[in-house]
Each structure stands twice: as structure tokens, then as C-alpha cells.
């Protein structure tokens, strides 16, 4: 079959969507023909926003038998709108996947009649079975990990067990997207040819605002260092990369493994960055990471209030955090630290502690990033506190796309209607009601972000 996979508008700078490249490799392995439509890349390349008619033309030219869309919270309404137009034009099966569709699978299929299937969680095996069933006309009940509709009734099948040995998964199908050099040429640093690499699936921690750990579950699966190196070597040869960015939720969960990867990377003389947690770091590991070419680390710290640290189950020691961030900077590693405000029960005093802490972080030369909490579907916070929420007047960056992507009035109207009608699907447009006014939250978010504006922030997350 011919399958077209669409990555709707996304973050900047544009980069190939790793999840879709993995899916494409699995589909090609069993003989399907795959095209990837990367909307952000195409728009950057064209130097203008591409409207839905042009995008439908592009999808139509690929003559698909089915079209898949990857989704996250902030592009969900856009993905739904575009999918509707593709369905109207081509009338082929539409498949959604990715974090946002995973956490709202049943609701999505039942609310939006043009979405035929949602693939929940890890997609490589499910998409192959689903496409086979679409091709044979066989029934979908026995495919674990999907939601679908039949005769107007929505069904959700059992969860699919994870792929145990993730070294078995084929490398991402980079031949289906423009060269990474092309992507780099659209950024402000065209000489940095960067590849995203996923070396772990899953995160063992339990932060109550996070949906990634509930999607990938809390037992991490690791690729072997040699398998990771093989992918990097291949990308050096085929794509001329000079940098990788590990997109694992927490690259340093297992220090021994992180050190083993460092030993291999040192010999390769490649620059790299990763996401980490303060309490999985120590100064020795940092030193080894630096020697192995690590140039950027993104730490999720979230709050400068010890009370909130406990409440969100992050439980980081602020004293240790400053030590690790300071050491990271002393080693010359660029560092971005993320903060979140607006947790249930958070007081002005808690937020003030976070602001003061961000000043200390900024004094080390690290950049700070501030966010107002959004209740993501699939997170513990949404499960426990969503009853007490209000529509967030100042849309958070995690909720919707930047306004300049919303040139089509129809999209905006659809989004407004859907967000109000289906709050469980769009919970991330709401904020948890607390004693703090939304304007104040926005001012604090901005204040935290000003430390990021002081310099050029690293692009590790």
C-alpha cells in the first residue's frame, strides 16, 4: 500500500520527525511505499505559511491509500483540521498517532468522524498490523493498541506490549526526508548538521504533570551503546552530521550506561546534547560527558519551592541543583533549565521562590525557560484536578501553535468550538484554578523566560 505520513506544523527550527521516520522504516520493511510530508520544513523552505489547500494538493499527489498524522498537544486542533480536509478530498483511511492522540484515543475517534483509527503508544508494530488489516479488509478487534469506529460505535483494543529489545527496531528512514544539511540550512546555524537520536524509551520517574512517562511507562528500555553508535556512524556517512541530540526523556537514568556511551562518543569526536535530571547527575559523570563532546544539557527543574518539589513528586534538592548546574556551566556546557508555575495550590510565595531561584540559576550563565502549567491529557494532575479548571485566557505555548500559523479563519473557529465542546481532549487549553490570577501567572512565566532571552538558548529539547 502507499502510506503518507504527515508531520503537521511543529517546533522551530524544523527537524525531521523521528517517530514518523521509525514508522516509515517498519512499513518499508514489509513492502509498503511511504511518503513523509513535513509541513514545517515545506513552509520554511517556501518562506511562507502553506495553506490547507496547498497541503492537500501535496498529499493528493502522493496518491495515498491511507494517511497518518503525528500529533502532540499544541498541534492537535491543527492536525484535526487538516485531516478533515484531507478526508474530504481523498476519502482514504485517516490514522492518528503520537502522544496527544494516544492519551485521547477513544474520545478523538468518537468526536471526530473523519479520524478512522488512533494508534496508541509505540507505533512500529501496530501500524504494520493495522495497514495489513486495512489492506485485507480483516477485522481490527485483534490489533492491540488501537481505537477505531465501526457502525458508529467506538472501540478501544487492549494495550500493546512494548517491544522488549529496542535494538531490534530498524533505524529511522532518513532517505524519505530532505537531507539533514537541508534542514540545517533553514536554521540560524546552518553549519550544525544535527540528528535527533532516541537511546532510551521510558522514564522511571513520577512527575505528576508529565504525560511522557505514562505513555512510555516507567520501566525504561535501553538501546545498547553499540547499537546507538552504529546509527550515529551511519548518519555521519549518509548525512554528514557533526552533532547529535539525544531526545530521551532522561539520558542519564543509568549512569554506567551513560558513561559507556560517552566512551564510544569520545572516539567519534562528535558534539552532542541531551535532556537530564539533576538527581541522575554527578560531577564525575558531567566531566566524562564533557570529554565525550557534550555541549548542551536541558534540565527539568520546574520549581524553586521545596513544597512544590514534593507536591509534584519531582523531589529535587535545590542545593544540589545549583551545584550541578554551576558545574555544568564551569565545564563550558550550555545549559537550559525549565520551570513551571501554576500548580494546584501553588501560592504567590512559591512562585516568588521559583523566580528567586531562577535568578541564581541565571547567575551561573544557564538559560531559564518558564511555562505556565498545562494539564496534559494522560498526566496525573489532569486526572486528579481537572474538575477545577478554567479556560486559559492567555494561551500557553504548550497548548496551541504560534498565532502566525493560524492564518485560516476557519481553523481558528473550529479550534474555539472544539476546545469548549471537548475539554477532555483539549485539557491543555485550560488552567487549574488556584488563588492566582491568570495575568499574574503570565507575568511570572515571562519573568522566568527573560533569563533565556539574555543569551542564545541551547536547542536540546
Nearest to 177 by CA among 344, 388, 356, 35: 35
Q: Which is nearer to ligand B12, 162 or 260 (CB)?
A: 162
**Residue count, binding to ligand B12 (CB under 6 A):** 38
Name residues contacting ligand SF4, limited to 166-225 (CB under 6 A): 203, 205, 207, 210, 212-213
Pick one of ligand B12, ligand SF4, none as the site partner of residue 441 (Cβ within 5 to 8 A by kind): none
Please list, in sequence order, all residues whose beta carbon lies within 8 angstroms of the beta carbon of residue 128, skipping any fewer than 6 positions away.
26, 27, 29, 30
Q: What is the distance between the alpha carbons of residues 129 and 151, in angstroms, rounded to a whole number?
A: 21
Binding mask 122-141 for ligand B12 (x = CB under 6 A): xxx--x--------------
25 forms part of the interface with ligand B12 (CB under 6 A) = no
Pick one of ligand B12, ligand SF4, none as the site partner of residue 207 (Cβ within 5 to 8 A by kind): ligand SF4
**Minimum distance, C-beta of residue 29 to ligand SF4, in the bound complex (Å):** 29
Binding mask 355-394 for ligand B12 (x = CB under 6 A): ---------------------x------------------
What are the contacts of 157-165 at 24+ separation with CB within 8 A? 159/120, 159/121, 160/120, 160/121, 160/122, 160/125, 160/126, 162/121, 162/122, 162/201, 162/202, 162/217, 162/221, 163/122, 163/124, 163/125, 163/221, 164/221, 165/221
249 forms part of the interface with ligand SF4 (CB under 6 A) = yes
239 forms part of the interface with ligand SF4 (CB under 6 A) = no
**Minimum distance, C-beta of residue 103 to ligand B12, in the bound complex (Å):** 6
Q: What is the distance between the alpha carbons of residues 99 and 215, in angstroms, rounded to a whole number?
A: 7
Pick one of ligand SF4, ligand B12, none as the site partner of residue 177 (Cβ within 5 to 8 A by kind): none
**Minimum distance, C-beta of residue 315 to ligand B12, in the bound complex (Å):** 17
Task: Pick the binder of ligand SF4 from 7, 74, 100, 250 (CB under 6 A).
Answer: 250
What are the contacts of 212-221 at 24+ separation with CB within 8 A? 212/99, 212/249, 213/249, 214/103, 214/378, 214/379, 214/380, 215/99, 215/102, 215/103, 215/121, 215/378, 216/121, 216/122, 216/249, 217/162, 220/253, 220/254, 221/162, 221/163, 221/164, 221/165, 221/166
212 forms part of the interface with ligand B12 (CB under 6 A) = yes
Binding mask 75-104 for ligand B12 (x = CB under 6 A): x-------------------x-xxxx--x-
Question: Which contiguous run of DSSP H or E holds residue 447?
Answer: helix 438-453
Q: Is 387 exposed, middle or buried (0-12, 13-18, 19+ CB in 10 A)?
A: exposed
398 forms part of the interface with ligand SF4 (CB under 6 A) = no
**Minimum distance, C-beta of residue 206 to ligand SF4, in the bound complex (Å):** 6
42 forms part of the interface with ligand B12 (CB under 6 A) = no
258 forms part of the interface with ligand B12 (CB under 6 A) = no
Asked, as a colleague might, if the bond just before 164 is cis with ω within 30 of 0, I would say: no
Give the rounded distance of the alpha carbon of 84 from its chain centre: 23
Q: Which spans of this chain sit near ligand SF4 (rule: CB under 6 A)? A: 203, 205, 207, 210, 212-213, 249-250, 277, 300
Q: Which spans of this chain sit near ligand B12 (rule: CB under 6 A)? A: 10-11, 15, 17-19, 22-23, 68-70, 72-75, 95, 97-100, 103, 119, 122-124, 127, 196, 198, 210-212, 216, 247, 249, 376, 397-398, 461
Amino acid at each position: 500500500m502507499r502510506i503518507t505520513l504527515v508531520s503537521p506544523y511543529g517546533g522551530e527550527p524544523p527537524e525531521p520527525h523521528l517517530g514518523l521516520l521509525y514508522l516509515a522504516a517498519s512499513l518499508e520493511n514489509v513492502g509498503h511505499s511511504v511518503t513523509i510530508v513535513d509541513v514545517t520544513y515545506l513552509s520554511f523552505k517556501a518562506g511562507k505559511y502553506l495553506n490547507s489547500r496547498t497541503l492537500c494538493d501535496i498529499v493528493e499527489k502522493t496518491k495515498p491509500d491511507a494517511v497518518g498524522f503525528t500529533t502532540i498537544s499544541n498541534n492537535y486542533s491543527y492536525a484535526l483540521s487538516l485531516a478533515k480536509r484531507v478526508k474530504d478530498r481523498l476519502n482514504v483511511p485517516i490514522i492518528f498517532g503520537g502522544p496527544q492522540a494516544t492519551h485521547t484515543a477513544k474520545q478523538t475517534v468518537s468526536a471526530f468522524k473523519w479520524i478512522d483509527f488512533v494508534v496508541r503508544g509505540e507505533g512500529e508494530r501496530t501500524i504494520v498490523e493495522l495497514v495489513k488489516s486495512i489492506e485485507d479488509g480483516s477485522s481490527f478487534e485483534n490489533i492491540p493498541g488501537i481505537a477505531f469506529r465501526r457502525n458508529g460505535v467506538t472501540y478501544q483494543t487492549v494495550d500493546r506490549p512494548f517491544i522488549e529489545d529496542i535494538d531490534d527496531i530498524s533505524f529511522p528512514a532518513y532517505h524519505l526526508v530532505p537531507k539533514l544539511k537541508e534542514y540545517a540550512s533553514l536554521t540560524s546555524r546552518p553549519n550544525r548538521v544535527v540528528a535527533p537520536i532516541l537511546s532510551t524509551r521510558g522514564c522511571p520517574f513520577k512527575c505528576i504533570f508529565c504525560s511522557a512517562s505514562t505513555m512510555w511507562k516507567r520501566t525504561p528500555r535501553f538501546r545498547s551503546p553499540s547499537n546507538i553508535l552504529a546509527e550515529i556512524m551511519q548518519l555521519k556517512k549518509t548525512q554528514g552530521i557533526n552533532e547529535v541530540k539525544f531526545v530521551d526523556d532522561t539520558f542519564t537514568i543509568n549512569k554506567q550506561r551513560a558513561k559507556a556511551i560517552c566512551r564510544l562518543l569520545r572516539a567519534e569526536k562528535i558534539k552532542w546534547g541531551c535532556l537530564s535530571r539533576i538527581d541522575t547527575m554527578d560531577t564525575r559523570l558531567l566531566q566524562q560527558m564533557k570529554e565525550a563532546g557534550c555541549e548542551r544539557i536541558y534540565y527539568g527543574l520546574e520549581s524553586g519551592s521545596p513544597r512544590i518539589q514534593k507536591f509534584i513528586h519531582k523531589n529535587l534538592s535545590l542545593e544540589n541543583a545549583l551545584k550541578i548546574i554551576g558545574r555544568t556551566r564551569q565545564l563550558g556546557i550550555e545549559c537550559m533549565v525549565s520551570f513551571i508555575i501554576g500548580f494546584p495550590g501553588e501560592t504567590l510565595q512559591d512562585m516568588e521562590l521559583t523566580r528567586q531561584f531562577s535568578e541564581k540559576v541565571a547567575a551561573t550563565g544557564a538559560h531559564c525557560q518558564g511555562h505556565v502549567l498545562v494539564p496534559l491529557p494522560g498526566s496525573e494532575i489532569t486526572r486528579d484536578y481537572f474538575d477545577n479548571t478554567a479556560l486559559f485566557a492567555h494561551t500557553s505555548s504548550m497548548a496551541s501553535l504560534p498565532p502566525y500559523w493560524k492564518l485560516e479563519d476557519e481553523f481558528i473557529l473550529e479550534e474555539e468550538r472544539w476546545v469548549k465542546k471537548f475539554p477532555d481532549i483539549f485539557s491543555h487549553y485550560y488552567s487549574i484554578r488556584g488563588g492566582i490570577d491568570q495575568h499574574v501567572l503570565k507575568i511570572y512565566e515571562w519573568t522566568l523566560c527573560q533569563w533565556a532571552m539574555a543569551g542564545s538558548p541551547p536547542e536540546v529539547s
